Amino acid sequence: MTYDRNGALRVGILMDSFTLPAWAYEVLATLQQSAYARIQLIVLNDSFRAEEARGALEGREEADQVVSP
């Protein structure tokens, strides 16, 4: 763990998307507004998108096999 010079915990977040459910947004907003922690880093998980796209393509191929004679 690392702290900034004011003693607040420095937090990094790994996200699959910038779209968040309301509860997750509220957690992050509360964390950022607190005196005890600061969000210092946000990493967008690109491997999640690649996996999601690959799954969509596989689903499309399976659908093509079912529909095609």
pLDDT of residue 46: 81
Q: How many CB atoms lie within 10 A of CB 28?
A: 16
| Mean pLDDT of the 7-36 span | 91
Average pLDDT along the chain: 78
Task: Give the percent of the chain with pLDDT over 70.
Answer: 68
**Residue appearing with tokens 């079912």:** 66
Distance (Å) of CA 16 to CA 1, 2, 42, 52: 23, 24, 10, 10
For the cut 70, the answer to whether the pLDDT of residue 17 exceeds it is: yes
